[in-house]
Chain A
Amino acid sequence: MTLAKRIIPCLDVDAGRVVKGVNFVGIRDAGDPVEIAKRYNQQGADEITFLDITASHEDRDTTVEMVERIAGEVFIPLTVGGGIRRCEDIRTMLNAGADKISINTAAVTNPEFVREAAERFGSQCIVVAIDAKRVSAEDETPRWEIFTHGGRRPTGLDAVEWARKMADYGAGELLLTSMDRDGTKVGFDLGVTRAISDAVDVPVIASGGVGNLDHLVAGVREGGADAVLAASIFHFGEYTIPDAKRYMAEHGIEMRL
C-alpha cells in the first residue's frame, strides 16, 4: 500500500483574512491567506482547505479573489468550503481555481443538491462536510448525529447513515468534524471517525480536536482516516508540517515526505 495519508492545514477565512490567527516566524502579514497557503505549500502540505466563514454576502468577492491568488501560486489541491448553496457557487469557485468544493449546511437542507453537484461537476470535486456530535450516554452504544450552525442545531440525522447516504449521492470525499472535539485539543473523536470510515468507500478526512502529533497518528491508525485536517497546531508554529509527517512516518504510516 503506497498511497500516502494526507495532512491538510485548514485556513478559516473571514472577509479575506485568516481568523484563527497564524504565528509564523518571518511572515510579513500573518492574516493573509495567500502568504499562509504558500508557506504551507513550501512546508510540503498535501492539500490546503480554505473555509470561508464570511458572514456578509458582499465580502464573497474577496474570497473569490483570494482563491484565484492562491491557485495561481500553490500547485497542490485546494478545497474551498463555506456558504456553498448553488451550482453557480461551485462553478464560481472552480473557475477561481479551487479543485474541490466542500458542501455543509446545504447538503442537510437539500441533499439533492449533492447529487446534482456530483452529476454536474463530477464526484472528484465534491466534498461533503459532516459535523457530528455524540448523542449517546457513556454507557450506551455510541451514536452520533448531524448538527448544523456550528454544532448548535440538531437535525436528528444519524451520522453514519448520513455519511453512507452522502457517498451514495455522489460525494467523492467526506470531511468529518467532531463538534464535541473542535477547538478542544484533546484529539479526534476516534469512535465516529472509525465508524464512518468503515461504513463508506470514499476517503474520510478527520477533523476537530487535534492538539498534538499523537492525535494525528491515532486519527489514521485507530480512526481509519485517509487524511487529517488541523489548523491551530500548525498556525501557531507548535509543529511544522514536516514535523508531523516525520512523526507519522516513524509510526509506520505511509507519508509523502
Chain B
Amino acid sequence: MTIAVIDYGMGNLHSVAKALEHVTHENVMVTRDPRSIRGASRLVLPGQGAIRDCIGELERTELTGLVKELLTAQAKPLLGICVGQQMLFERSEENGGVDCLGFLPGRVRHFGQHLSSPDGERLKVPHMGWNRVAQRHAHPLWNGIDDGARFYFVHSYFVEADSDGDIFGTTDYAGAEAHVATGRGTVFAVQFHPEKSARDGLQLLENFVNWAP
C-alpha cells in the first residue's frame, strides 16, 4: 500500500507528506514517476501558486494525460488540495483565463479587490487564516469532524461548482460562497490545507487514508 503525492513541481509537498506520515504507517512517496503513480493505492494532487504555472508544470512533466486518465478511471481514491482542487474544474479566471482539467463542471473565480465588510473593515485577499467549513453533504472524509469546524486557508481564487451533488463543504467569505470541499466518486478535493489544519486536518487525512469508495 503506497500513497503517492504527485510531484509536478508545484506545491509544498513536504508538508503534505509529513502530515500523511503522521497519520498512517503506509508508505508515502513524493513522486513524478508515472509507473509509481499508477502503482500507488491512493493519490494526492497538491498545488500552490499561480494556476497557469500549475497546469503548465503538469503539462511539462507529462503528467496531464495520466492524471486525467486516473480521474476518469475512478479506480483509486484521490485527494486534491488547494490549487489541486481548483485544477479539477473546467476553467479558472486567474492569469487572464486558464483551461483546467475539466473533471468536474464549474469554474474558479477571484474574490475581488478593495472589498469591505458591512462594518467597514477592509476584507483582505488572500483569504488567509482559519475559517469555518459548513458540511453540505455527508461524506466519509468528514468522519469525526464537526460541521462548521475551522480549517486553514490561503487563497485568492475559489471554486464555484455547477452541480450541487459535487459540493461537500462551503465557506462564506467576502460575500461569496466558496465551494471549498468538492468531489465525485473516488475523488475528493479541498481548498483548505488539511496538512496545516491541526487536529481536524489530520483527521481528514486519516479519513482519506481509510476511505474505501
A residues apposed to B, CB below 8 Å: 1-6, 41, 44, 46, 71-72, 75-77, 94-97, 99, 121-125, 172-173, 197-198, 201-204, 224, 226-227, 256
Nearest-Cβ distance from residue B89 to partner chain A, whole angstroms: 19
* Minimum-distance CB pairs A-B, first 5: A122-B49, A256-B130, A203-B124, A4-B130, A124-B154
**Interface check B150, CB cutoff 8 A:** yes
Asked if A124 contacts B114 (CB within 8 A), the reply is no
Q: Is the CB of B129 within 8 A of A123?
A: no
Q: In the complex, which residue of chain B has the Cβ closest to the Cβ of A202?
A: B124
Interface of B is mostly: mixed
Tell me if A122 and B48 are in contact (CB < 8 A): yes
A72-B18, A75-B19, A203-B126 in contact; A4/B198 too (CB < 8 A)? Answer: no
Task: Give bound CA distance, A125 to B10, whole Å.
Answer: 13
Residues in chain B near residue A6, CB distance under 8 A:
129-130
B155 cross-chain contacts in A, Cβ below 8 A: 124
Complexed CA–CA distance, A74 and B42 (Å): 24
Q: Are B122's CB and A173's CB within 8 A?
A: no
B128 touches A99 (CB 8 A): no
Interface residues in B133-169 by Cβ distance below 8 A to A read 150, 152, 154-156
Query: Inter-chain contact count A-B, CB under 8 Å?
Result: 96
Cβ contact within 8 Å between A99 and B126: no
What are 13 residue pairs bridging A and B, where the CB atoms are less than 8 Å apart in the complex?
Answer: A2-B132, A3-B130, A44-B198, A75-B198, A75-B202, A77-B196, A94-B14, A96-B14, A99-B12, A122-B48, A122-B49, A173-B126, A197-B122
A76 touches B152 (CB 8 A): yes
Which residues of chain B have a CB within 8 Å of any CB of chain A? Answer: 12, 14-15, 18-19, 22, 48-50, 113-114, 117, 121-122, 124-132, 150, 152, 154-156, 171-173, 193, 195-198, 201-202
Given contacts A76-B196, A95-B14, are A124 and B131 in contact (CB under 8 A)? no
> CB-nearest residue of chain B relative to A227?
B129
Q: Which residue of A lies closest to B118 (CB)?
A: A1
Cβ-closest chain B residue relative to A72:
B18
A3 touches B196 (CB 8 A): no
A201/B131 in contact, CB under 8 A: no
Q: Are A123 and B126 interface neighbours, CB within 8 A?
A: yes
Within the complex, the shortest CB–CB distance from A234 to chain B, in Å, comes to 17
Q: Do residues A172 and B50 form an inter-chain contact, with CB atoms below 8 A?
A: no
**Minimum CB distance partner of B133 in chain A:** A2
Given contacts A71-B14, A75-B19, contact A201 B195 (CB under 8 A): no
Decide: B128 and A203 in contact? CB cutoff 8 A: yes
A99: contacting residue among B15, B50, B121, B202, CB under 8 A: B15
Q: Tell me if A172 and B126 are in contact (CB < 8 A).
A: yes
Q: Report yes or no: A94 in contact with B12, Cβ–Cβ below 8 A.
A: yes
Closest CB of chain B to A218's CB: distance in Å?
15
Bound-state Cα–Cα, A3 to B133, Å: 10
Q: Please indicate the chain A residues that have their CB under 8 angstroms from the CB of B19 in the complex.
A: 75
Given contacts A3-B127, A124-B154, A224-B121, contact A41 B18 (CB under 8 A): no
Cα separation A2 to B117 with both chains bound (whole Å): 11
